[in-house]
Amino acid sequence: QKEVEQDPGPLSVPEGAIVSLNCTYSNSAFQYFMWYRQYSRKGPELLMYTYSSGNKEDGRFTAQVDKSSKYISLFIRDSQPSDSATYLCAMSAGNSGGSNYKLTFGKGTLLTVNP
């Protein structure tokens, strides 16, 4: 079983739709959970950063972490064509000190929002 599983899609939605992106993981040591967005031929950029279980909201984006189920989600409300990108989940066991804090990425989900 891979440490982090993410459905690669592609996912195509109409403008204004609510998008749900998900990752599952197997390593119970993961405590930090991130979502990165990567536009075509660009480097990833951090979108959301959460610690442990719970929800975090930032504008149209909401990140959810359920550690008991080893499941994380990213919701995008009122999706826009500019949201079209690959979304990568990432996780780490620690935040400082040695290899504990290395990020393990999912394979990314390609999202297209159609106008």
Partner 1 sequence: DTAVSQTPKYLVTQMGNDKSIKCEQNLGHDTMYWYKQDSKKFLKIMFSYNNKELIINETVPNRFSPKSPDKAHLNLHINSLELGDSAVYFCASSTFGLAGEQYFGPGTRLTVT
Chain residues in the site for partner 1 (CB under 8 A): 8, 32, 34, 38, 41-46, 49, 86, 88, 90, 92, 94-96, 98-99, 101-105, 107-108
Give strand pairing partners of 66. 71
Q: At closest approach, how far in Å is the CB of 78 from partner 1?
A: 26
Q: Which structure tokens are listed for 101?
A: 């804090």
Q: At closest approach, how far in Å is the CB of 83 from partner 1?
A: 17
Closest CB to partner 1 among residues 14, 99: 99
Q: At closest approach, how far in Å is the CB of 109 from partner 1?
A: 10
Closest CB to partner 1 among residues 104, 112: 104
> In Å, how far are 2, 17, 38, 49, 114 from 46, measured between CA atoms?
23, 22, 9, 8, 23
Q: Which structure tokens are listed for 20?
A: 């749900």
Closest CB to partner 1 among residues 39, 78: 39
Q: b/e per residue, 74-94, with b = 16+ CB within 10 A?
A: bbbeebeeebbbbbbbbbbbe
Q: At closest approach, how far in Å is the CB of 40 from partner 1?
A: 10
- Other C-beta atoms lying within 10 Å of the C-beta of residue 7: 14
Closest CB to partner 1 among residues 3, 78: 3
